Amino acid sequence: MYKCSRCGYVHWMSDLPEECPFCHAEQENLLTLDEASCRKIENSLSENEILVNVLSRLNEISYELENIFEEDHSLIFDTLFKNTVEMTQMIKAELEKKVKEGRWG
């Protein structure tokens, strides 16, 4: 695995690309990850994927609730909407923490 020192992109392929596929930084910015770093990323992949999927679904639900909330100011829809927004922010914070700890790929 290689990681771009400029943008943090992790390249999974065994071949070293000419440039970073994400930010187009030059090849010397793509650093080889050590075995421990690769293991950290690999071990957290399934959890990362679950969090991203939940985040995506929460955004959909939040949008649907927001439309209902505009028409119906009932306590249940208000509470659901506020909870989806709060959970969305918590997941974003968790993902940011994983990125900072090098557990994202």
Q: Domain residues of the chain, as ranges?
A: 1-33, 38-105
What pLDDT sits at residue 24? Answer: 96
Residue 18: pLDDT over 90: yes
The secondary element (H helix, E strand) that includes residue 48 is helix 35-71
Confidence tier at 3 by pLDDT (50, 70, 90): very high
What is the C-alpha to C-alpha distance for residues 99 and 105, in angstroms, rounded to an integer?
8
Residue 5: pLDDT over 80: yes
pLDDT digits (tens, 9 = 90+) for 25-81: 999 999 999 999 899 888 888 898 999 999 999 888 877 877 776 666 677 777 887
- Tell me the two tokens of residue 64: 């649907």
Confidence tier at 105 by pLDDT (50, 70, 90): low
Rounded to two decimals, the pTM is: 0.62
